[in-house]
Amino acid sequence: MKLSLIVPCYNEAQAIPFLYEEIDKVIKQISCECELLFVDDGSKDNTLMVLKELAQKDSRVIYLSFSRNFGKEAAMYAGLCNATGDYIAVMDADMQDPPSLLPQMLDILQTEEYDCVATRRQDREGEPPIRSWFAKKFYAIINKISDADIVDGARDFRLMKRDMVDAIVAMSEYNRFSKGIFGWVGFKTHWLSYKNVERIAGETKWNFWKLTKYAIDGIINFSQVPLSIASWMGILMTITAFAMLIFVVVRKLLFGDPVDGWASTICVILFVGGVQTFCTGVAGQYLGKIYLESKHRPHYIISQTNGAHVEKVKRSH
């Protein structure tokens, strides 16, 4: 039995030594064959140096270093594509995903009929209330309008069996939203809750604007409902316009053609213009995704690695 641990790292030079030590301790407990895949996502600090040093003294460490920052989604995908274990885990570099949970997770997969053990935060303690409110709303909306089951508070930290990872790797779409992909592939998932942990060193790469973009991307990647809303709005406005047309014609026939109604005309023009622009924007968002998908650009480009069989450029098909 072999265990693969995937760690996406972006400017994590400070956190990696702590994580490595902790992982090393945990692996000793479960005593199994293991590989540690650290994906350096184009870090601007010493991350790659730290990883190279680790790789020199520990042959279980494999580093994949991207030619630039491709984002966490690409980094996780690179890890999943190149992991060779029977059990595969993804975890953050900042110790917010405690490695000490691994033995318990492995035990669940080995003794019970599950394909995956996923984790979620029990609470959102220490987070600004406004951010929590938006997060809650996001999960409520996306679960209503998409067919992927996306759990509130779910982290990307999870341990999966080979079959599930093969399914995820087979989903080679360029626009990746892992929280959706994990849910979309299905398989039996056991949820573990744990208390939110603060990051051990360095700083978060997410601000409010980035999170908002991430949320909109998630919805567009996993739901066609915004497109339906746009069409329904079109239908509704056509019906309204038709009713108004009848009203105007009847009024003209009954009362002649009094010259007023400038204000209402302007209101209608502005309203229709607004709705049309909004709908074009929604369609444009999807078009943009199709444009990127249709180019089949690589998910990532690896410039340096010590892995023997690593595919350096991963094309999306």
Place of tokens 């009847």: 250
- CA 154 remoteness from chain centre: 11
Which CB, 162 or 199, lies closer to ligand UDP? 199
123-131 contacts, C-beta under 8 A, 24 or more apart: 123/195, 123/196, 124/153, 124/196, 125/195, 125/196, 126/196, 126/198, 127/196, 131/208, 131/211
Q: Per residue in 70-104, is it b (16+ CB within 10 Å) or e — as a string? A: bbbbbbbbbbbbbbebbbbbbbbbbbbbebebbee
Q: Are 117 and 109 in contact (CB under 8 A)?
A: yes
What are the residues binding Mg ion (CB under 5 A)? Answer: 92, 94, 96, 199
Cβ closer to ligand UDP: 211 or 237?
Answer: 211
Whose Cβ is closer to ligand UDP: residue 175's or residue 276's?
Answer: 175
Q: 8 CB contacts (<8 Å, ≥6 apart)?
A: 39, 41, 72, 75, 76, 79, 90, 92, 93
Taking CB under 6 A as the rule, does residue 208 contact ligand UDP?
no
Min CB(25)–ligand UDP separation in Å: 19
Which one of Mg ion, ligand UDP, none interacts with residue 71, CB within 5 to 8 A by kind? ligand UDP
Q: Which of Mg ion, ligand UDP, none is residue 41 near (CB under 5 to 8 Å by kind)?
A: ligand UDP
Asked if 92 interacts with ligand UDP (CB under 6 A), we say yes
Residues numbered 53 to 72 that lie near ligand UDP (CB under 6 A) are 69, 71-72
From 5-13, 100-108, 128-136, 218-226, give the range in contact with ligand UDP by CB under 6 A: 5-13
Q: Which is nearer to Mg ion, 35 or 156 (CB)?
A: 156
**Chain positions contacting ligand UDP, by CB under 6 A:** 8-10, 12, 41, 69, 71-72, 75, 92-94, 96, 199, 204-206
